Structure 1
């Protein structure tokens, strides 16, 4: 049968399936049939109208590559090594992002035209919603490795291809990329691809682990395997930890171990995760001493779940971090911009541009949701540039009453208006002379004042109220807003000429929920609060997990408030998930536990329930009070009633 006849037969098979007739589809695997049904039912793809492969524009490709630049930096060695193994067999290699766009490609130049036509090319779009059933798109949907062989493809354009793909996940288990190897031609039978699936899986895991090591290069990492000989070479498990044993993150093997532990000893909070000493039967001092207590830097450790013995080593950070200190020490001062992020791709792009703008006189517009740190970035720009010794004057245009904003900004001379200061007042614009004027929420400035501000920016001079002559000012203007500036201009709420004056350069801050360095931000904010309050405090792993899982509609400002609340209300030094505000526990917080409300003849039952709760919470009264939905004094009162005394108070 020629290819044209095969395409007609393939289309007829899919049309029959869409009409409820399954003639000829019974031999196809369930994973393929489910994808076909999605293509026709959910995506409304028409099998009778094959679609040519789509390759995005060069600019769009660059944007997709920039979102995964950290991964690409790490993955290229693995990509090159895998391609060296498959090139002679006629395969090409694609690495796509989590939207199915090929951001990396390896193939023979002689086949460029045929590969591009088939979509096996840089910038090709293999999203299942567009391309139909295919290895990349179906792998992204199901988050598991798959081979899509010839007529298993939905679109008849692709039925001559064979493709095998495996997902690459980040340390939180989210798919961030797909590794795929494909061929224009291959043997008819699916079994001919049996060797390909484990090979792609192997390299996907290697890239995953290399990315994990890169992401947590400044942390302690426990690496383990069941075979002592393989730990140093390619240990399967990777767990990043704090020096107190709290788990920061784990690779796919490590997450499986944590899941096994949680299934055996389920916790109340869905965000809870164990410390390394709860995962393995070992003391934290023994973990930290691995490198100094054995010649081969290995230690046998037994997993508490499954009772399996592993061999572990410890990988120390490149820059050793002190517990409770968010930033690595350095012999030279760290620029103010460098502390705002670690390895988040979006922030990396923002800060790269910000460093170039530090000593430029270009006006900067900073946008982002409320609470994302627009003023913090503005201050960092000021402190990192040539104006650092000058003043930084911050003005919230939305907070000053409209009747006062003109006099506050521009100042006034004595007698300029009734009720003013007898000696007049220098306005905030004048106060910023020689430094930076930061206008927050510029979109809320009244229109009449926008005209006067435009003159200040254009002429670098200010006219106080009641003055007859303008006063020169030397300043740089940075503005910020959480609103859509183009919409404000279109609706007539912002002067178009002012918009172009303030938008010399645009820096967009991503929301906290989209940032890959959320762990770093949480630690930095927490450590700053601890230092500010001169208070001891530690974030336990369950609290950190809940903070990482929360969506933070109020962004970093809300995070700071939540951590301040926890520090203000916690009993002791350890902050657990139950010391956080209720909103941080997710949409479905654990239901409150009600003590047995029984008559006097069964006080023992009430006492036992309370004792179990206290023991499980390690005698954290705040945590138990939250679980019961009562106040802490009520818990203390019930403890006294039943004679329950914390272990640290026993003599």
Structure 2
């Protein structure tokens, strides 16, 4: 124990046991939490509490309970992570019980994040973890920062965690958004900007869920900024054709909190003290939302600018919704569906993949994170004679080291303390006669690689505590974004397992290198729109913007961008302004060989790539890069602004 930890423990005890603390209204949220931890939860700051991690199957149950909310939340998490990743932060989402149901972090820090409990399945409820960003936010129900020594547990005092509660469309506390870092400046004020960012994204996620849920109703948006009410309205009310309020977002619940009667079920005209014909005129008589806003004076004296959004999904109560028209891709076989005909490289990969189906050959899929490795694995499964049998996906990087052996191989009754009384069937056995997909195989611990080798070579799996193995019949597809051959050379991956896995290697190109981007964007947009019940279209200008984007997050980033755009879309079609694309922040790994000069006839994506390559070759010296491209420095700066290219921070 360090001297800092010892002083921290003494400080927690002295404040938490103060008799006047809980009665003092000026006591901080943190100090009140310390008192709860000692008096109510029976925690001891001198006894570190190890991270409690739920088994993967229990985590999936928690995730399923938030299935619809997770769509908008994941898109928001991806967006905020792209803005804070370079500063050393990670992003996680917990449910209302404090269980981590999703997280995004730098894979290079996986071991440290796991030890700190900042990963999938971790329990951050205050009763277990003590004062922390998530647990205390669940109780206080307001944004907060728990910075370093504000944590109760002395083993957490290096962390900084900033959180905000997420309420669903009905006002129920549903989740906690958390941005954390393993290390940070000592000053608590260093987290102020992060706190504002977390609060802003929490509101955006809530509003996206609200718009999705009430997409079949009229929505009145009220905002204090005249020009931003259509995209950043703080107050939203959903009402039906009769003018009855059916829902209110967090901003509306706060503004109208002084009402004697509940918001839901009341008349929107009475709330605003406006006749219904005046309200309909806010949306051009009900046809569509106007491109400008009107001023509304609320009964409490507040002045807001208002606009009205027409229902995006109209359904007759007596009639089931019509199925969306099938797209050409829907009629293709599983493998052919994952790529467009205008990408020769992908067509060659698909032809190779089809020759591997049902040949008893293990397949290794290589590609960047988010490039569609699992999509390809599922397509291989769907094209095989095993298509009607289980497809079991295992993310070797997401399961804690302490659990991965029992999760993969299962265990017999009484194998170890804390296990299920009836034992558990492992994921490998669950995939019997089907396909086992081992994602991020490069992260599998060395000790388990030996056991997996036996499964692949002998076709047998031995559960923990069992005396005899069980036969399994598997098609195995492994995937990685790492260089496995380099891991083998470094002694971090078994050479015999490597050669057993890569019976055939399929290399997926990143999205920025694919020539069928339009096909992929259209197919994915159709899929997401159908899932959300949206009738919105993708404008051609938005399509061009998507085509020119660099997509560092590949297909995963594309899906999240489309989901968020559909959730927030207020008109008949999505415009470029509604696409929340991260600034173009290139990686050195993304360089391509390029011609020496910019050709004004090339498309935007090619121009951006050439400019980026020149900047990287000349160490971001703009004048030298411009000279190499045969353009002026002013033109180079203009192109950088056009494509959103930002020089990396130095230091």
Please tell me the TM-score bracket, short chain as reference: 0.3 to 0.5
Return the index of the structure with the highest Cα Rg.
1
